[in-house]
Amino acid sequence: MKTQCFTPAEIAPAAEILRRGGLLAIPTETVYGLGADGLDPVAVTHIFEAKGRPQDNPLILHVPSADWLTRYCEDIPDTAYVLTRRFWPGPLTIILKHKPLIPDVVTAGLPTVGMRCPAHPVTRAIIERADRPVAAPSANTSGKPSPTTARHVLDDMDGKIDGVMDGGPCSVGVESTIVDLTVTPPRLLRPGGVTLEQLRDVLGAVEVDPAVTRLMSPGEKPRAPGMKYRHYAPNAPVTVVKGDPEETARYIACASDQGSGIICFDEFQPLFPGRVVETIGSADDEAAQARHVFDALRAFDSTHVKQIWSQCPPDEGIGLAVANRLNKAAGFHIIHLKK
């Protein structure tokens, strides 16, 4: 299959791919998605094939506005509209009960579905034009870091999908925040672009699913199927070092060798001569870290590094999402340096 590249001037032919059951990679403010008509079970099956994604990992449905929620969801709580008024379009996915028209392959057979309205205007225009909800996971090979440019998408998907819309680099850089509104209190299933602090500001109590900050033990049943899979991982094993940035930088400088790759905050790069270094932003700029973390993880796959050491922000603000992605890339192999 030849993968076509579209520019934002080409909304109509891109939407046509979705209408005829094809696969289209779409830009969003978080990461690139791999989209298909969310009401067409055959089209959605092709997403799983292209990604090598396990069938029991559900997809998010993308809509152009909160007005579409009643088409696909029922028993919608008021909290849903409180959140959509405040954060849509934007990096927030809400879990709601779905209507019977949503195919099982989208929801992995769950009674619930993840709904999101992305902030990228080109993608909203494509969805409007296609007049279909677009089922889309991240447009990477399953298990790999998520793509934040059209180039990353092609690295994984060239020849496997019908097209990619190039909407430029993603402005947030980590996936959407997922909050389950079918339970009381609402529960954070994945930290992302909308922070836990922002959610609590609007909703009051929000629980954090244990899988956000630690590895699930073998007998434990995950709340969302995706939580049980290894994620975001480059080829080389990753070790995350948490603690004061000066100390973690010094620790990694001692522990690493010439064959190591390093993910560090900008200001510590001079500590790692002779290593393959990816900087992700300064220690106090978590938004920059979110924009660069997947690009950094991906970059090591074109090098020969044997292992990767990474600094990590504290679990606050969007730092919680950055730390979550790094921890998962490391399979929760984390060294905590005490103060």
Please report, as ranges, the residues that interact with Mg ion according to CB under 5 A: 138
- State which residue, 178 or 290, has the beta carbon closest to ligand AMP: 178
Least distance to ligand AMP, CB of residue 118, Å? 11
Least distance to Mg ion, CB of residue 156, Å? 11
User: Phi and psi (nearest 5°) for 256?
Assistant: -85, 160
First and final CA of the chain: distance in angstroms?
Answer: 55
Q: How far apart are CA 7 and CA 152, in angstroms?
A: 16
Work out what residue 224 binds among Mg ion, ligand AMP, none; the CB cut-off runs from 5 to 8 Å by kind.
ligand AMP
Question: For residues 226 and 146, is the Cβ–Cβ distance under 8 A?
Answer: no
Element (H, E) at 11: helix 11-19
Least distance to Mg ion, CB of residue 175, Å? 6
Residue nearest to Mg ion (CB): 138
What is the b/e burial string over 200-214, where b = at least 16 CB atoms within 10 angstroms of the residue's CB?
Answer: eeebeebeebebbee
Nearest CA to 324 out of 200, 197, 180, 227 is that of: 227
Dihedral (CA of 190, 191, 192, 195) sign: positive
Least distance to ligand AMP, CB of residue 176, Å? 8
- State which residue, 138 or 310, has the beta carbon closest to Mg ion: 138
Residue with tokens 């899979």: 229
Which of residues 14, 24, 119, 189 is near ligand AMP by CB under 6 A? 189
Order the strands of the 260-264 sheet from edge to edge.
276-279, 260-264, 307-311, 238-242, 334-336
By CB under 6 A, tell whether 57 contacts ligand AMP. yes
User: Phi and psi (nearest 5°) for 65?
Assistant: -165, 170
The contact mask relative to ligand AMP for 96-115 (x = CB under 6 A, - = no) is -----------x--x-xxx-
Work out what residue 292 binds among Mg ion, ligand AMP, none; the CB cut-off runs from 5 to 8 Å by kind.
none
Q: Residues 235 to 294: which contact ligand AMP by CB under 6 A?
A: none
Which of residues 167, 192, 226, 234 is near ligand AMP by CB under 6 A? 226
Question: For residues 322 and 289, is the Cβ–Cβ distance under 8 A?
Answer: yes
By CB under 6 A, tell whether 60 contacts ligand AMP. yes
**3-class secondary-structure state, position 26:** strand
Least distance to Mg ion, CB of residue 252, Å? 27
Work out what residue 106 binds among Mg ion, ligand AMP, none; the CB cut-off runs from 5 to 8 Å by kind.
none
Residues that bind ligand AMP (CB under 6 A): 57-60, 95, 107, 110, 112-114, 137-138, 175, 178, 189-190, 224-226
